[in-house]
Each structure stands twice: as C-alpha cells, then as structure tokens.
Chain A
C-alpha cells in the first residue's frame, strides 16, 4: 500500500487505553480537597492558606531534591507531591508556624515516600507520617488551636470538641450546626463535615475511592461510640459528635482511602475500615490522646499487605460458593 513508508507498529493487545491517568486522578483529588480547604480558609483566615502553600512547597522541594540526589527521573508532574502537601496542611492546626508547615511537607515526602522508593512503594500514608513527625517534634505548636471565625469565644486558644469529649465536658460542646459547617476549633481541613462530605462523595462518585473504606470505618465508629456513650451516660448525641469531630471525616474519606497504602481487595477494604474504626475508638476512649485517627491509619497501613494476602477473593469459576444456577 502506498501510504505506508515505515514498518507498521507491532504491539500485542490491548491496543487501547482509557486515557485516565494518575495525573488526572490527582487533579480530581485536588478538586475534591477544595471544599475542605476553602472552609478552612474561611474559618481560620489567610493563615490557613499560607500553611497550605508552605506544606505544598515543602513537599515539592523535597520531592525534587530526593529524585535529583538519587538520580532518578523527577516525578513532580504526576501531582502526587502536591496532594501529599495539601492533605498534610488540612490536618495541621491553623496557627502552626509556617516554617513548621514547610518542614512537615518535606518530612512527608522524604520519610513518608521517597525513602521507600517513591510513588507506589511507600507503606505509610505520607501526609500522616508528616503529621505524626510534627506532633512528636513540636508538641506545643501542634496542639495550639485558634478559634474559628464567628465563634462566640473571646479566647484565641480554645479546646476542640475532641478535647472536651475526652474530659467528659459534654455540656460545653458547640452546637451540632456549628460542628457540621465547621465553625469549631480544630485542624484546617478537618472541621467542616459538610465540606469534607462534598469532596468525599465526589471521589466515590468518580470511583476514585471505594465506598467500602469510609463506610466500614464510620460504621464501626458509630456502633462503638453508641455503645460507649450509652455505658457512660453521655447521651444520644455523643456518637454524632464523635463522628463529626476531630480528623475522622477527613481521615475516612481522604486519608484511609489513599490508593498506595490501603488494600486492593474489596473484602480487604472492609476489614481495613473495620480495623480503623476499632483502633480509633480504642485510642479515643482509653488512650492518652484526644484524637486517634492519624495513628489508627498509620497502624492499619502496616497491616495492609497482610490484609490483602488473607482476603484474596474467589476467582471466576473457582471453588467455594457456587454461582447461582438459572
């Protein structure tokens, strides 16, 4: 044929791709973070925006340097460092000094990701590694809370709903409406339940996130807090406050569902969510900390390979439960 001058391309099937790439997926995660980020800026002011910028800057700088030092291709383009930085910022207190935010972003990338070999190789959620390291290194700055815009409190430092519940001071809790829209003390992106849900449901709708993890996680917490609240006599609203306070919502939709560090099997994701719920409640009820989401996720991350191993599904036609006959 006259229109062929070069040898035809020979490749084995499939010859087709969905065009949905990691880069695009990262853009969608960033988009999903927007409502929570915007709520953070609204309630905590421009300082929150600066924290985000510096976390991302730290993450990008660390990513760039690590790849250069290891003489590996620079992978800024895939956008995962931006996401790590942004997610980290969302779980930092708004008043955190900016240099700590920068450091946190760098920690997250270096210790959370690049020491393991880069994207896809890490065991732990990098953003949570960054946060955990900051909490260990700067305990004071990491637990200094500022009041959200429009809150009827004149103090600039105030207790978060989590801390109030920890001490059993149920009567001092903010109203449920405030908790839902995020007008409470807490981390930048963790306070507004409604904003997080908006982004989280978008991710589920886009099939970026499997509903199983957040559902199993939140469901387990709901059950356990109901039991605990009843035993302690904290009242009917206790589980609701537990669900909507602290890092739980952000953790359930954005952190626990991190692709790299959560199980790939469907059953495994249910087990993962269940384990998260149990650990979070144990820490919240009996631990020395008010909050348990970050550590639960890091702990469950360790178990991910094992969960995958033990939840291998039944293949088509495999032995086990037979398909239903017609």
Chain B
C-alpha cells in the first residue's frame, strides 16, 4: 500500500542548484543594507533598532549589518525601509566570520586565500560526503531544518550527501547552538575524532555569534563568540534558524560545489 502511495504525487524533489527553484530564490535571509551611505543615519538611531547589536555606523557614516548577529526580527526593515531590506535566496553563508558583515570589508585577496585553503582540503573528499551534527544548545529549530534535507523535497542523497552517526566516518560537521559550556568538550571530542580532511559549518546565528537576545552575555552559560571559540569553523551560516535551502547552499559552498558565480553574487552584499 505504502509503495503505491509513494508514487502518488509524482516527483517532488527540487533540482536545485542545477535548476533554479522558486522557493530557494524567495528564501528570506538576514537583513541587509540597501543604502550604505544614507544621510541622516546616526549611530544612535540605527544601532538602537537592533536587539542583538547587529547594526553599526562607521565614523564615515556608513551603515553596516553584521548578519552573523541577525536573528531576522525585522525591526530594522520595518523602521527604516530606506536603509534596510531582507536578503533573499539560498546563498547566505560565508567562508569567514568577517564575510558576514555587509557591505563587506573583505578584499578579493583575503577571500581568495580562505577559499583556496578550503578547496585544497575539500578536493580530497570523496564524491559521497558524510555529515555529522552536534547540538551545542540550539533552540531545537535548527535540527528540524537540517533533518528537512532528508525529506523528498530536498533529498540530499541525490547530491551524494549522507548523515552518519559516527564522527569517524564524517567529513562535514554541522554545529548548531551557541556553544553551551557543557557541550564544549563533547564538541571538541567529536571534531577531533573526525578524519582529515574535515570541514565544520556553524549553522544558525546562535552558532555563528554565540547567543541571541539578552544584554547579560557575560553571565551567559555559552561561549561568548559562538562555536568558533571551541572548534575551527570553515563556513558561517546565519539564520534563526537558517532554512533548508540555506543549509544546503552552505554545504555546497563548503565542498566547492556551488555553480560558478553564485557565491560571489551572494556575498557581495547590497540590495537583492
């Protein structure tokens, strides 16, 4: 009976990234800056909009969003639609923490260096890639979005990606949560147990910057700078939580398997 039912609705699986996918293009990402040098934007009235201190104004008056701190609350977009908008599309990850600050300060040279380093490592990975996940204090939603990659719509098996229970068979580590102190050692051990070459991805704003809301960060029971304080992170993916397409894009970025052009397009900042 179930075998027949499985055929009922035809092919549900996306062909992304080979073919465009409407839902992937429409995926809402962190806030971005529409007009970096808008007049009348002082540090005081812009920075105060954001509950997670993601917004800054440089001395020369340029507005910046640190997407690695953005929890997509939408306040900046609602209050100053002239300055801020949503980024859209699946490509929301960066290869460095600094790369999440838009408009970017990263020069093509530094980006090229990071990219080359990662590529040298991932080139050696088999075409079939095994993923291991560790939760370091997530709110539980990131796990849902990672698991969604197994549903028939995303079906990462088609891309040769598989979840594995054993760190010894894992090529890629997906880390969620802000780095709760109790998970620091288990995370370190998991990372150490993975064979070389290995890649670690910080999945979600919690993992990227170590917690979300709240002024008492010093008193927090989490690593203050996110999971990057605990293990070396190669790919940084914000989101609260990041959507399955964004996670998939981060995986492909890590493996250097994104179609050419899409990374550059994704991370040059500005309005999209």
Binding between chains A and B: no
Interface residues of A (CB under 8 A from B): none
> Could you tell me which B residues sit within 8 Å of A by CB distance?
none
